[in-house]
Amino acid sequence: MCTKVYQPTGIGPNDRGLSRKHIMEACNSSLNRLQTDYIDVYYAHRFDKKVSLEETFLAFSDLVRQGKVLYVGISEWTAEQITQAAVLARELRVPLVASQPQYSMLWRVIEAEVIQACEREGIGQVVWSPLAQGILSGKYLPNEPIPQGSRASTSAGSPFFERLAGQWLHTEVLEAVSRLSSLAREAGLTLPQLALAWVLQNPQVSAAIIGASRPEQVKENVKAAGIRLEPELMSETDKILEGLVERDPKKTG
């Protein structure tokens, strides 16, 4: 069982971040809500610039020794932050094992620096949004209305929708995704299977987090775990998406 700490849980100044107080209180609250004695992987959801890493990792160290946390992870940290954390983790004997970044065919900002830092430190990638917020599901078509009931339609007016619309819901991107759908069919796959298999093809990716709303989606997507994509297919996806992929490592986090 995994959970995270960092984001606000209340209105007070101690109800957020990676201070010792918030980490300890948030962990105990999570254990109560989850009705469990321990957390398998406890993620620092973002990097906290207002708190020293020493304070954060001393708190994680105590939770590990208390048996409340088995392993520690980080989410959306830069390569430099990960390297600094790994040094402290070794000193304090904290098992830092996982990084949880956004990663997909369209969003590859971790490839330039984060993956190399994690490989050096023995940290695996548990990636989120491998379908690029649903864009790589194939449900959004060029020059067509946003489907009713989709994430984009139900999030209209929210920061999430504004980001999605601003970054991916463009004709050029959606036309490229349509070509990816045809490529997937030729390979005997659905587009989500191709997109998931693509991220899992990276040897540094340990797992991909999928957001399914129906059981049949889970059954379809889980098939990607056993798929190996041929080099020619990987190359063709790059050609289709050329000029559309976000790679800037500064956009981590």
65's CB contacts (< 8 A; 6+ apart) are: none
- Of 4-8, 100-104, 225-229, the least confident: 225-229
Q: How many C-beta atoms lie closer than 10 Å to residue 11's C-beta?
A: 7
pLDDT of 160 > 80? The answer is no
- Answer yes or no: is pLDDT of 149 > 80: no
pLDDT given at position 248: 94
Please compute the mean of the pLDDT values over residues 141-152 and round it to a whole number: 65
pLDDT of residue 217: 78
How far apart CA 107 and CA 98 sit, in angstroms, is 19
- Given a cut of 90, whether residue 216 has pLDDT beyond it is no
Residues 6 or more apart from 243 whose CB is under 8 A from it?
none
* pLDDT(44) > 60: yes
Categorize the per-residue pLDDT at 147 as very low, low, confident or very high, splitting at 50, 70 and 90: low
Q: Is the pLDDT of residue 81 over 90?
A: yes
Q: What does pLDDT average to over the chain? A: 91
As a whole number of Å, the CA-based R_g of the chain is 19
Q: Percent of the chain having pLDDT more than 90?
A: 74
pLDDT at residue 163 tops 80:
no
pTM exceeds 0.85 for this model: yes
pLDDT at 42 over 80: yes
Instruction: Tell whether the model's pLDDT for residue 155 goes beyond 60.
Output: no
Residue 198 in this model has a pLDDT that exceeds 90: yes
Choose among 80, 24, 14, 88: nearest CA to 57.
88
Q: Is residue 164 over pLDDT 70?
A: no
For 165-233, list the strands marked E by DSSP: 205-208
